[in-house]
Chain A
Amino acid sequence: MTSELTSLTAPQRHQVTVTVNGLPRSAEVAPRRLLSDFLRHDLRLTGTHVGCEHGVCGACTILLDGKPIRSCLTFAVAVDGRDITTVEGLAAEDGTLHPVQQAFQDHHGLQCGFCTPGFVMSACGYLAEHPDAQDDDEIREEMAGNLCRCTGYAGILGAVKQAAEVLRETGADPRDRHRPGGATLG
């Protein structure tokens, strides 16, 4: 019994394989590895930021199977086999910014940039489900789970509205990597 229990409580390492921004990525991790740290330390994708590690600031927001989630409140082992999009998966191969990123630049929706990846990923998830977004109050409420200590939010609100408009024109899915010219190829 004791030896059996010990093996059930021994923190073994796990091989975790996920698709990140369209590519299969794999690493061996301890169960306590947070998905945020898995992305940053094991996969060297440091675009995902880490602020509070208790779900409040939103800096670590990524898309899991197309839905925005907090990577700091998820263990890497728990998402084995799933599909992940991070802020590195948005700009076009040639560096052209994704409409959401472009809108943040146009509206000065960032200053220090610490919160920006989280805001951008939350906005992509939100606009994918609410392509008709234009109401200020609704956008504010949907983005209220992310904190910014610099901008005062006005620029961020403007950016999300612009991005919504641009995406409506091109019909692109905001969760896909940007393709200059507007067309999304599968």
Chain B
Amino acid sequence: MSDFDDHGPTSLPEPPPPPPEPEPPKPVEVFADYVDGMTAGVERVSIWSKPDAILLRFASGDELTWALDDLRALPDQADARGIVVKPGHDSLERLIVRDPGIAIHIRENAKRLGQRPPVTNIPRIAGWASGAVASVALIIFVLVPIMANQLATYLPPEGERALGDATFGQIRTALSSDASPVSLCEKPEGMAAITAIEKRLNAEVDLPYPVEIAVLDHELVNAFALPGGRIIVFRGLIDDAQNAEEVTAVIAHEIGHVANRDPTRDALRSAGSIGVLGLLFGDFAGGTVMLFLANQLVNAKYSQAAETGADAYAHDLLQRADIDPKWIGTFFERMVEEYGDAEGVMAHLSSHPQSRARIEAAATASGGRTYRNEVLTDAQWAALREVCGPRPASDDGNDKSPDDDAEEEGWEEPDTRRQDAPTGLSGDN
């Protein structure tokens, strides 16, 4: 028996949480809708209160008794004044109560309305969760890096250049404070000094393609290599360097990245891992930030090995060019003093961790012998320092001289101070 006639639209303005009110008087018959979970019929039943139970009386005269302790309410229901209950977690039966009086009666007397069904699939969830973590880890930390390493060596140089050019454009735009990309520094005298450094290092033999060094007019104390042999040095790094040897040492390190094809590996690896990480965070609000952070963490793991490799290459290259590898160390030393070790990761030569260890490695590589150094003449060094244009008068020198630095570190190398001696073009051999 189903009657729907009295289900007009209830357009009463309903205040959300009902204030507790005294129970409705018992003898008045109150009704609710019952569905049995077997058929799509709805039965109107009258509700009667019994000790520890409610009684559902059907029009046919049949009765159902539901123990109050068995009753469970459906959560998050839109009709806050009514209630929908079922007799037990697994029951398909429903009692849809719209009468606020009975709803209150049930809420006050049934003690386990809010009890949740036990979660039965925990072992399966745990299993699949481990599976998901394992497969993501396998892909991000094993498969993608291996493939990136392999594919990086097969990528034709033109492809690498295209990859590097795309990234270069993005970086110039990203670092810019206004609409136009960060400008390139191209004063001819300064660029000639850069060429002199390149020639002195003479790394071409190790490289799959020629190196191309660009200076960006930005105050970041940083330098990095891009796929395809492009090396970017920021003006801030040249400003911060004490002499041409420090700049040369940093460039040697970046050439190490180029020789090892690290930037290409990085780019391919990111292409693979970003999408996978994107899966994990889904499309929840602000997931992009999480994605970015996670990718940084993954990259940090690889950068350590890459940095050590690039340093080792740089030590060798500098020694071959008769330049003291310690200059990598002195530069980092000052960075650590200025920014601290932890900050170093973020602030300069991004993702170059373990600065202390690198300084020591550079000192070890220096090995106590003497070097000719003299990468640039005074005039060339001055030109390099003005590659982006004339320097402000207040910023014309460094607070420490190379002498102080060397002596503090206990290095006794008079040669390093011979920069002022105009012994010809140092970069021409």
Do A and B come from the same complex?
no
Interface residues of B (CB under 8 A from A): none
Interface residues of A (CB under 8 A from B): none
